[in-house]
Amino acid sequence: MDNHPVDESARPGRLFFTEAEAAEALRVHPSTLGRLAKTGRSPVVPVEAGSRRLYPAAAIDALAHPGSNR
């Protein structure tokens, strides 16, 4: 069994990232991303899912990897 971490952004068909996953991809702390979302200044508009925020994977990938066709 392979115990290496999986790069979630590399999974095809992934539609959303959790706040923690999005923050990791953008290299910011999850609380920073949450604070930006609460104040309407997040670079990606999250989808509210109950008490959670989900971030569109395509938008996060585009910000995390500019100029790439991921």
Per-residue model confidence (pLDDT) at position 3: 47
Q: What are the tokens at 51? A: 């008490």
Question: What are residue 55's DSSP bridge partners?
Answer: 17
Average pLDDT of the segment spanning 44-64: 95
Q: With bands split at pLDDT 50, 70 and 90, how would you rate the model's confidence at 69?
A: low
Per-residue model confidence (pLDDT) at position 67: 82
List phi, psi (to 5°) of 52. Answer: -105, 155
pLDDT tens-digit map of 12-35 = 678 999 999 999 999 999 999 999
Q: With bands split at pLDDT 50, 70 and 90, how would you rate the model's confidence at 6?
A: very low
Q: How far is CA 37 from CA 3, 47, 55, 69, in A?
A: 33, 10, 10, 26
Tell me the one-letter amino acid at 59: A
